[in-house]
Chain A
Amino acid sequence: MTASRRLSLLLVPAALFLLAIYVWPSLGLFRNAFNEVGPTGAMIPAWSLQTWRATLHDSFTIELTLNSLWLSTVATLIALCLAYPVSLFLFRTESRFRGLLAVVAILPMLVSGVVRVFGWLAILGDRGLVNTTLQALGLISAPLKLVFNWTGVTIGLAESIMPYMILALLAGFGRLDRTLEEAARSLGASPFRTFWRVTLPLSLPAIALAAGLGFVLSMSAYITPKLLGGGRVFVLATEIFEQATTNTNWPVASVLAIYTLLLLLVLLAASNLVARRLQR
């Protein structure tokens, strides 16, 4: 057995694990997608394309897709704008607390998503920190509607994906060579011009990586749109859950889950393509 073959054996446990917990249930999902549903909700075993046709021709599926894409794009952009400076600082700082600061930046990952969302409800609610402060300062007379709508979901989602994006940016900053920036500065470039012409282009692969990760996480996010959306925010993930657990309509839930999976695969492939081109 060659060394490379022996090395590939290391993948076997993980592959078997994935097979058991991901591939096998996915096959069940695939099978359910072809079942039919009776008028009162009972699932009828069948090999039918009826659910596929009905779901994919439903204009609400298009609306869900556009909502998911829009929400993911906005949340990713907001999170990127916030995560980029933090990551750059963490990458550059020579402070002896660098490790500690990095842990602080990704600390939200250690808190349950549900707890974080309820935290946002307390902060953004009518009697939350933001509204009471603004009212106390006399800046607003009535509370701003910051939760149970798109605003709340976007804020919550951006916050939830930010730690992952910080990690992705830190991992992708490998090509960020400080000597190139110093060369630009020594040739008379202003700090802003140095950032715009040197730092930012060199960090584009990291940005693409982080944006891809943030986007995929946003597309599949369920807790934040569900709890902060107040029943007004419809995206693919919430609809899959709703169909599976409230309507008991597993075939529609399965079709939507496969549809979302394929959509994510296409988006991931596109993101990888962009990242590779930027790395050249």
Chain B
Amino acid sequence: MLTRRLVIQSGLATIAAPAVLRAQTLSGTVTLMTYTGIFQDNYTKAVVEPFQQAHPGVKVNFVSAGTSAQMVGAVRAQKADPQTDVVIMDVTTSSIGNAEGLFEKLTPAEFPVLGELLPEARAAGGEFGPAVTFDHLVIVQDAALKPQLAKLADLWRPDLKGHIALSAPPNIQGLALTAMTEKMEGGDYRKSIDAAIKKLKELAPGVTTFEPNPDGYSLILNGVAKVATGWNARAQLYSDQTGGKINALLPPEGSVFQVNTINLTAGSKNRAAAAAFIAHALSQGAQKAFTERMFYAPTNGKAEIDPKALARTAASPDNRARMIGVDWTEILKLRDQWNNRWRREVIAAAR
């Protein structure tokens, strides 16, 4: 007998059938190249595992080539026979991959989720892979340091001499710090970085290392440094994991967004599954889960994030208001010039 329940169930089944069919028909392996360590651990829990549950036939394999620049190098080297399907990397390097034809363009017709993304997330990749996470540069400090740094200008405090770990350019942390220092000094990096270089030269003799290895957070936790440059998401997570031994400061003078994009490798051997993974990674659920787990700001404007977690990301209104508008494509053009000035003026002042 045709009951109302049966009719509704049949209707829902009909609507869901294509998606269910697609989920069931996807199979094989998706090779995801991105950052390892805590990023991989948390991304697996928040994004990869739910995707694999929704697509039981698909297995997501992580591979790493190191930094974003090393990743684009690896994809470039595999151009004739791509070994990866999806790559999550910094926008400064994905733009190189886009220009070299290493990644595919993504269309709203195939990826309706693109319509849910924040405008700046779409703009980051242009017609190619959009932003999947936002982060920002912070000053990471030893929680035991008294008094705590309250602003970027505090980096020049005499008591911090010999306790500072900075990542110099060409590392993007160094590029971001240059733009932030220029703004702190009342300038604009688009016009000149003279004021920033002058100020950073004063800081240089007190810098322990311009190349923190393995990173600034570890150097603070190991007692090698008391202050370092770092990324907000990792700093927040390390703070939680160590019971608050480090703190992250978003300087009131302003900070700079770091953007990770998600990219579909041209010639992917499992394109359908790779595309499904990208759509999942950009979806509201995955964005919410990853933000609440690791404090990267979401790029999906419709993701409903727990306010407590959101306040610790670059996406909270207060934090967003402090961001310096930086066009990474423009900075890339200036990178060699800035790099040379750091080497010849800033680091030279520290020798």
B224 contacts A42, C-beta separation under 8 Å: no
Number of A-B residue pairs having CB atoms within 8 Å of each other in the complex: 74
Question: Secondary structure at chain A's binding surface: helix, strand, loop or mixed?
Answer: loop
Given contacts A41-B96, A60-B343, A247-B335, contact A231 B69 (CB under 8 A): no
Chain A residues packing against B (C-beta within 8 Å)? 38-43, 60, 125-127, 148-150, 226-227, 229-232, 234, 242, 244-248, 250
Binds A, one of B27-35, B204-212, B267-275, B314-322: B204-212
CB of A63 to closest CB in B, whole Å: 9
Additional A-B contacts beyond A245-B70, A246-B171 (4; CB < 8 A): A40-B99, A41-B92, A60-B340, A127-B223
Check A247–B170 contact: CB distance below 8 A. yes
Tell which of B73, B96, B344, B347 touches A231, judged by Cβ atoms closer than 8 Å. B347
B92 proximity list for chain A (CB < 8 A): 41
Once the chains bind, are A40 and B95 in contact (CB under 8 Å)?
Answer: yes
Closest residue of A by beta carbon distance from B171: A246
List 7 A-B pairs, minimum CB-CB distance, nearest first: A231-B210, A231-B211, A42-B99, A230-B209, A40-B332, A148-B209, A41-B96
CA distance A127 to B225 in the complex (A): 11
- Contacts from B to A (Cβ < 8 Å): 66-67, 69-70, 72-73, 76, 92-93, 95-96, 99-100, 162, 168, 170-171, 208-211, 213, 223-224, 329, 332-333, 335-336, 339-340, 343-344, 347, 350-351
Interface of B: prevailing SS: helix
Contact, CB under 8 Å: A248 / B72: yes
CA distance A43 to B329 in the complex (A): 15
CB pair B211–A230 under 8 Å, yes or no, is: yes
Nearest to B172 among chain A residues (CB) is: A246
Nearest residue (CB) in A for B213 is A227
Known: A43-B100, A232-B347. A245 touches B66 (CB 8 A): yes
Query: What chain A residues lie within 8 Å of B96 (beta carbons)?
Result: 40-43, 248
Whether A245 pairs with B343 at a CB distance below 8 angstroms is no
User: Closest residue to B70 on the A side, CB-wise?
Assistant: A245
Interface hub of B70, B208, B210 (most chain A Cβ within 10 A):
B208
Q: A229, A231, A232: which has the most chain B beta carbons within 10 Å?
A: A231
Find out whether the CB atom of B170 lies under 8 angstroms from the CB atom of A250.
no
B residues in contact with A231, CB < 8 Å: 168, 209-211, 347
Contact yes or no, A248 B69, CB < 8 A: yes
Closest approach, in angstroms, between the C-beta of A62 and any C-beta of chain B? Answer: 13
A55 to chain B, nearest CB (A): 12
- B162: chain A residues at CB < 8 Å are 126
Distance A38 CA – B70 CA, assembled complex (angstroms) = 18
Contact of A232 among B72, B210, B333 (CB under 8 A): B210
Contacts of B213 in A (CB 8 A): 226-227
Docked Cα-Cα span, A227 to B67, in Å, equals 16
Q: How far, in angstroms, from A246 to B223 measured CA to CA in the complex?
A: 27
A191–B329 alpha-carbon span in the complex (Å): 70
Q: Smallest distance from the beta carbon of A167 to chain B beta carbons, Å?
A: 30
Question: Do the beta carbons of A248 and B73 come within 8 Å of each other?
Answer: yes
Q: CA A230 – CA B165 in complex, angstroms?
A: 9
Give the distance to chain A from B335, nearest Cβ to Cβ, in Å.
7
